[in-house]
Amino acid sequence: METILNSTIVAYLVFGACFGLATGSYQHIFSEGPSRPGAPGNRLLWVLICTFLWPIMVLTGVLSMVKLRARAKAAAQQR
């Protein structure tokens, strides 16, 4: 039982770190950080935040994508 719990926690944290590394240059989509990546310390902070809060970041990313697509669709219809 203990190993299952430990492996679940480790998997959660590893996935979060990988998510943070993969999305480091797209922080602006998650309404976090500048539109262009800056110093390496910013990327490290982003990875640490995503390591623990990746489910929330996924939800905010999906919400941002929906909003951006709606804006693009409205702009295309105006033309």
pLDDT score at 79: 81
Supply 73's token pair: 């669709």
Pairwise CA distance, residues 56 & 36, whole Å = 21
The pTM of the full predicted model, rounded to 2 decimals, is 0.79
Give me the tens of pLDDT residue by residue for the chain, a chain 79 residues long: 788 889 999 999 999 999 999 998 888 787 766 555 566 778 888 899 999 999 999 999 999 999 989 999 999 998 8
What is the structure's pLDDT at 24? 85
The amino acid occupying position 45 is L
